[in-house]
Amino acid sequence: MKQTLFILLISISSIVSAQNVNIPDVAFKAYLVANNLINTNADAEIQITEANAFAGSINIGYNGAISDLTGIEEFTALTWLYCEGNQIGSIDISSLVNLVEFNCMANQLTSLNMANGNNANMTYFVAFNNPNLSCIEVDNAAWSTATWTGLVDATASFSKNCSTQPACADPANIYTFTHNNTTYEVVREMRSWDDAAACAVERGGFLVEINDPAEQMAVYNAIITGAGVSPNYTVVNNGGGIAYVWIGANDKSTEGAWLWDGDDNNNGTNFWTGQGSNGSGNGAAIGGAFTNWGGTSTGTAMEPDDYGTGQDCGAMALSGWPAGTTMLGIASEWNDIIGSSAIYYVIEYANTTSVNNQIDHENSIIIYPNPSNGLLTVKGNGIQKIEIYDITGRLINTTASNENKQIVNLSDNSKGIYFVKVTTTKGVEVTKVNIY
């Protein structure tokens, strides 16, 4: 009888214990227990039922002592999580399916799982100043890259499965830049055109499509100046003995029918037909499309020429060719080369209109001038609050507002990069500004 009672007591104790959320971090647990909106029975534990029922916000920003968020997974109805300025190494919010605001900047993150099925409905996300975070697991890598690039460190990328990273590109070999609100990556890894296109798709993008002179100049400058690619980092013998970088053009399906097909699905915009003057000489742009084939600078396109056959993929030259001359083209112009050539490549992502593109154009926020000497004008409909964060993620200024135009004075602050978070009746928008 005594033995039966003893076992029964152990069983009851185990059931009660199982009802409590496991929260090993003392500082995190202290915050939760002290919050009477969460700890509704005012005991020394957080029950799973209490965690599941809480639909509010958790703000442990700049606590400084928190290093483990184990237990957060039980807060499935949570809508806001602010945990910036701590020592947290890993966060998994995949079970927080109602989360709409998240800030984990200025931590020690090496792992971040944001794949909660609700990314597209999130109105605020910031995760920069986590220099050891290389991969962020998300619902859709292309969407997150287009929407959240600039809100994470340059060394971080987005993927549906970080356990496979780096699957096709090491973050250390990627240079990210933007032009006309579009994000690009120069990948300094040697791949064939097919493999480069496959990697671009895996990362949520496509090999770059160049549609105007400004984009052409931006991409070339990013390769040479931004990414620091040497004009002679390799030699492509079938392209005149010089170095190239892959772009998203090919005529693999039909010789002479050049498509922008950077995701390699045999379906894209036909922008050029035929060959340049070094080939059959019957080449022409279609519908006034922008082209920059070798020789364009002289007024006569010499390329593409399918020299020796099999030159079915487009690449941007890093010097004149044939090597030592500019007979067929100059640096930055395009050439058709054999697709199996192993060279660097440029990835483009879907266009985004702001750093955190989650407010429609009618209600979007305009901040100007940027760069600024310190006096910023914030303009938009339904502005409720303006918050300024420095590059470390520290909140340095908050302004409540019910005006559609507000002046923010940062002239007394140090020069550098700041983030302006604007809360409106429609959502939240974050913009990076440069104070000089």
The larger pLDDT score, comparing residue 201 to residue 330, is at: 330
The answer on pLDDT for 10 being more than 80 is no
Span 180-192, average pLDDT: 91
Instruction: Express each pLDDT in 375-427 by its tens digit.
Output: 888 888 888 888 888 766 678 888 887 778 888 888 888 888 788 888 887 76
pLDDT on residue 390: 76
CATH class, 191-348 region:
alpha beta
Residues whose CB falls within 8 Å of the CB of residue 387, separated by 6 or more in sequence, listed in order = 395, 397, 398, 399, 420, 421, 422, 423
**Residue carrying structure tokens 């013998």:** 237
CATH architecture, domain 361-435: Sandwich (2.60)
| Residues facing 90 on adjacent strands | 111
Tell which CATH architecture fits domain 19-165: Alpha-Beta Horseshoe (3.80)
Q: How confident is the model at residue 96 (pLDDT cuts 50, 70, 90)?
A: very high
pLDDT for residue 164 = 56
Q: Give mean pLDDT, residues 277-288.
A: 94
| Predicted local distance difference test score (pLDDT) of residue 359 | 35
Strand ranges (DSSP E) for 39-173? 57-59, 80-82, 90-92, 101-103, 111-113, 124-126, 135-137, 157-159
| Pairwise pLDDT comparison (391 vs 90), residue with the higher score | 90
Residue 261 to residues 56, 111, 342: CA-CA distances in angstroms? 46, 34, 19
CA 95 to CA 211: how far, in whole Å? 42
Is 0.85 surpassed by the pTM of this model? Answer: no
251 pLDDT more than 90: yes
In Å, how far from its chain's centre is CA 132? Answer: 16
The more confident residue out of 15 and 313 is 313
pLDDT of 167: 60
Given this model, what pLDDT does residue 376 score? 83
Mean pLDDT of 155-176: 80
CB-based contact 208:247 (threshold 8 Å): yes
pLDDT at residue 188, as a whole number: 96
pLDDT at position 391 = 66
Place of tokens 């971040």: 112
Q: How much is the CA Rg of the chain, to the nearest whole Å?
A: 27
Residue 40 predicted with pLDDT over 70: yes
Task: Give the residues across from 185 on adjacent strands.
Answer: 176, 347
How many C-alpha atoms does 274 have within 13 Å on its Cβ side? Answer: 12
For tokens 């994000």, the residue is: 183
For residue range 138-152, what is the model confidence (pLDDT) as tens digits? 998 888 988 898 899
Q: Where are the domains of the chain?
A: 19-165, 191-348, 361-435
Of 30-39, 103-112, 141-150, 302-311, which gets the smallest average pLDDT? 141-150
